[in-house]
Amino acid sequence: MKWLVNGRLFDGELLREGLCDLVIDKGRVAKIAPAGRFVPPEAATKIDLDGRIIAPGFIDLHAHLRDPGQEWREDIVSGSRAAAAGGFTTVVAMPNTDPPIDRSSLVRYVLERGQSAGAARVLPAGSVTKGRRGQELAEMWFMANEGAAIFTDDGLPVSTAHLLRTALLYADDLGMAIMEHPEELSLTKDAQVNDGPCAARSGLKGAPKSAELIAVERGIALAKDTGAHLHLTHLSAEESLEAVRRAKEDGINITCDVTPHHLTLDESLIEKSGYNSAYKVNPPLRSERDLEALWEGLADGTVDAIATDHAPYHLDEKDLPFQEAASGIASLECAVAVVFDAWLKRGKPFGIERLLRLFTAGPASVLRKSDLGRIEEGSVADITALDIGRERRVEAKRWESKARITPWEGSALCGWPVMTMREGKVIWVDGDGGLHAERD
């Protein structure tokens, strides 16, 4: 039993007035009351939040945990621990593994390995098609029964409009969404960067924003057609956001997420850094204007979630000249701080509740999990404690993740998680965060 005192409670919707105390018992939130109102049983372990934020455990909809098959990059244990250390209590593992997570036995494998890590909850995403080959639907019902959280062929878009339409209908029966990686591949062959100034000045092949928009519009048309829920992941272009905004106004069942890197980094950094491969990612970093459009999308509710697209690689695959380096940004352990720091530096362009929802209730609703992303009496005790004033430097060499290269290396960021709790168990504490708590 635990007794969290003096926290500022964000319940998934609102930040409550004043400070709160919470009693956590048997993995659930047993009681919530204004600070100092009651005395809990003596057996309870007290954790004094001293005014820090208590939020529902953060959920990352999109992380590449590379397991099975690419464990030199990451595995489910390191990924789950990295998630916990990054402030997440739930992480959705992408299925572009080797073999791909395309059947129930592999879904079970991911869940069991995740349990054994004793850190963040790992929810497997199943692939939409068998072998992620884009030909036949995978056994989505079997995978759903085993515990798959969503379906995606991420890394690639669902191959054809017909297949995406079928998948949407089939998943809708199961009460689940399809997560689409929107990219028209015929426009992005060999692309390395956004098709903007950096492409013009370097000659690197550019991925035009239209490649994303075409796939976004395809998805919207099919979601409209079927009434089924389509989730568009890692949107990066102003035009994509605009399309989603319109679709939402039209009542189409669309959700979307954006990444911390597209919210904070733009294409100019590639040239400025001398083509440092840390900035190589797909979709590519776009223009400053696109970046601003993503913030507008956060502000007006067009965006439902912030998801990391954590893409860890071994140093030998990433510490290479730009063109031959692997594409992907590792961020699980700094993503929350990257976003909160940017929000603070921008002068808090919208309320903190909106920002917190993008990590909690927002992603929970994409996964259609009503038991996650909120805190009330009786709810699962997944909790992220956040210290908006905490400043810390990003040091990838100290990460739980196996990745060692990140664009934010050495940056001093403000606004860090200081503790994560999953089902009442403390799964991570920031040792220098000033919070007196012990890992369970």
Partner 1 sequence: MSWRRKHLIDVDDWEREDFELLLEQTSNMDSILDRSIKKAPALRGKIVVNIFYEPSTRTRTSFEIAGKLLSADVINWTASGSSAAKGESLRDTIWTLEAMGADAVVIRHGEVGVPYYLAEKLKKASVINGGDGTHAHPTQALLDLYTAWRELGSLDGKKVAIVGDILHSRVARSDIYAFKAVGAEVYLSGPSTLMPTDINSLNAMYEPNIAEAIEGADIVYMLRIQRERQDAGLFPSLDEYHRRYGLTDKLLGKAKKGALVMHPGPINRGVEIASSVADGPQSFVLKQVRAGVAVRMALLYLMLGGVKE
| Shortest CB 124 distance to Zn ion, Å | 16
Least distance between partner 1 and beta carbon 318 (Å): 10
Q: Give the integer Cα–Cα distance in Å for 150 and 126.
A: 6
Closest to Zn ion by CB, 235 or 352:
235
Q: Which of the 8 DSSP states describes residue 95?
A: S
87 touches, from partner 1, Zn ion, none (C-beta below 5 to 8 Å by class): none
Residues 403-432 close enough to bind partner 1 by CB under 8 A = none
From the list partner 1, Zn ion, none, partner contacted by residue 322 (C-beta under 5 to 8 A by kind)? partner 1
CB atoms within 10 A of CB 189: 9
Residue 317 binds Zn ion, judged by CB under 5 A? no
Member of 6, 45, 166, 202 binding partner 1 (CB under 8 A): 202
Give the count of alpha carbons within 13 A of 319, CB side only.
Answer: 6
Binding test (CB under 8 A) with partner 1, winner from 7, 124, 206, 373: 206
Nearer to partner 1 among residue 6 and residue 268 (C-beta): 268
Q: How far apart are CA 340 and CA 363, in angstroms?
A: 17
The amino acid at 105: S
**Which residue in the set 77, 85, 204, 435 belongs to the binding site for partner 1 (CB under 8 A)?**
204
Among 211, 237, 240, CA closest to 291:
237
Q: What are phi and psi of 415, to 5 degrees?
A: 105, 80
Among residues 14, 33, 185, 200, the one that binds partner 1 under rule CB under 8 A: 200
> What does each C-alpha distance from 309 to 4, 218, 285, 384, 436 come to in angstroms?
32, 22, 13, 20, 31
- Please name the helix (run of DSSP H) or strand (run of DSSP E) that holds residue 113, with its range, or none: helix 104-117
206 binds, among partner 1, Zn ion, none (CB under 5 to 8 A by kind): partner 1
- Region near partner 1 per CB under 8 A, out of 141-149, 166-174, 189-197, 351-359: 189-197
Q: Which of 274, 347, 410, 431 binds partner 1 (CB under 8 A)?
A: 274
H-helix segments, 232-382: 238-249, 260-264, 268-272, 288-300, 315-318, 335-345, 352-357, 361-366
Closest CB 297 distance from partner 1, rounded Å: 23
Count Cα neighbours of 358 within 13 Å in the Cβ-side half-sphere.
29
| Catalytic residue numbers, as ranges | 309
Q: Which is nearer to partner 1, 56 or 196 (CB)?
A: 196
Which is closer to Zn ion, CB of 79 or CB of 424? 79
CA–CA gap between residue 422 and residue 45 (Å, rounded): 16
Report d(CA 7, CA 21) in Å as an integer: 7
Q: Considering the complex, state which of residue 316 and residue 432 has its C-beta at the smaller distance from partner 1.
A: 316
Choose, by CB under 8 A, the member of 91, 199, 232, 421 that binds partner 1: 199
Whose CA is closest to 417, among 66, 10, 105, 3?
Answer: 10
Gap between the Cα atoms of 338 and 414, Å rounded: 8
Closest CA to 157 of 101, 91, 234, 226: 234
Sign of CA dihedral 359, 365, 367, 368: positive
Binding segment for partner 1 among 152-160, 202-210, 225-233, 243-251 (CB under 8 A)? 202-210
State how far the Cα of 370 lies from the Cα of 270, in Å rounded to an integer.
Answer: 41
Residue 154 interacts with Zn ion (CB under 5 A)? yes
Q: Any alpha helices (H) in 118-196, and if so which ranges?
A: 140-146, 161-173
Nearer to Zn ion among residue 181 and residue 229 (C-beta): 181
String marking each residue 177-206 x if it binds Zn ion according to CB under 5 A: ----x-------------------------
Residue 357 · residue 366 · CB < 8 Å? no
Of the pair 105, 323, the CB lying nearest partner 1 is at 323
> In the range 293-332, which residues lie near partner 1 by CB under 8 A?
316, 319-325
Binds partner 1 (CB under 8 A): choice among 75, 180, 184, 195: 195
Nearer to partner 1, 324 or 432 (CB): 324
φ/ψ of residue 418, rounded to 5:
-120, -15
Minimum CB separation of residue 192 from partner 1 in Å reads: 8
Among the candidate windows 59-67, 68-76, 272-280, 375-383, which touches partner 1 by CB under 8 A? 272-280
Residue 289 touches partner 1, criterion: CB under 8 A: no
Q: Residue 154: which of partner 1, Zn ion, none does it interact with, CB under 5 to 8 A by kind?
A: Zn ion
Interface with partner 1 by CB under 8 A: which residues?
Answer: 192, 195-197, 199-204, 206, 208, 274-276, 316, 319-325
State the residues that interact with Zn ion by CB under 5 A. Answer: 154, 181
